[in-house]
Amino acid sequence: MKCLILEDGSVYQGEGFGAAGETKGEVVFTTGMTGYQEAITDQSYADQILVFTNPLIGNYGITLADYESLEPGIKGVICHQVAHHPDNWRMQTTLPDFLKKLNIPGIQGIDTRALVKKLRSHGTMRGQIVNSVAEAVQIAQELKQEDLTQGAIGRVSTTRSYPVPGSKRNIVVVDFGIKNSILRELAQRDCNCIVVPYTTTAERILSLHPDGVLLSNGPGKPSEMVDAAKMVREVEQYLPLMGICMGHQIFALANGAETFKMKFGHRGFNHPVREIATGNIGFTSQNHGYAVKAESIAATDLMVTHVEVNDGTIEGLRHKKYPAFSVQFHPDATPGPHDQQGIFDYFMQMIDQGKEANQHA
């Protein structure tokens, strides 16, 4: 038996799978119907325990090709039922064995509908997966006092720069917890990328003479990224810049906007987003617990380009003076709908226009 204990004292009993140990983290949920491997290996879930709302996961196994990171920072996995006999021609291992190898505990058999309803009603909570409920009251009290996501980006960002070779455009990618699918989208557009740590300065980035800069997704609190915001303020004056998810929030902070923690965030692959200029609505892949405050935009040089249809939160920003923009959703859409992959093409056009202007200057 394994149990999930929440900071409010709630206890959910189930059966363990994956790693045998105990774990704790911020308990969040995803509404995605598939893509469990990509979600589990997405570093935006670092220091979190992920609840899957789809009642069955693991049914098509695990394959190396679908990793978003090789050493995911997720703390635990919760589902109603894990598949006991997965089958797929691409499968290399099972989900339980995969989690065991990565030392990530899982728990199945609990009422995930009741758990998600609680999180939707009361907001994201800290939780701990344990092997015994003997000290549930004490554990709940301790969870209330802990900040489980402090410094998350520092734990998942690369510590050394590395290249992802290409031939056409030179892109510096700042790694706040990057998904492999973002690099794959850039590679498909013939980009020669250098991935750098989140602590990289503007001086260092400019010394690499890139054609553009991309700010990646990542976990934790955007307000911690003070130095990164300073870097963005300097770089955006000279180079085309694109931000995704955490990169979007840092771009907003760099330009004087503010962020706030959402009640339970957006996590899944079915979030409708409206582009303000055209009125077009596309479905998007999302994974974030913070958003940009709409009322903080007016005093900045930013304009809102996209909004979430369901709750009206900001999903896209563009700078009024510089060739710089950001989106809160994941245009790489792995997994998820491909409605917004054209965002990468827009970035390429912005870069090409900048290069052409420089040639004629």
Which residues belong to the active site? Answer: 245, 330, 332
> Which tokens belong to 15?
């059966």
Degrees to nearest 5, angle at CA 144 with 138 and 146: 105
> Which tokens belong to 136?
């549930």
> DSSP character for 24?
E
Q: Which backbone phi and psi does 356 adopt, to 5 degrees?
A: -65, -40
> Which tokens belong to 93?
């291992």
Degrees to nearest 5, angle at CA 304 with 203 and 156: 45
Contacts of 25 (CB under 8 A, 6+ apart): 47, 48, 49, 74, 75, 76, 126, 127, 148
Q: Which backbone phi and psi does 330 adopt, to 5 degrees?
A: -105, 100
Return the HEC string of 252-308: HHHCCCCEEEEEEEEEEEEEEEEECCCCCEEEEEEEEEEEECHHHCCCCCEEEEEEE
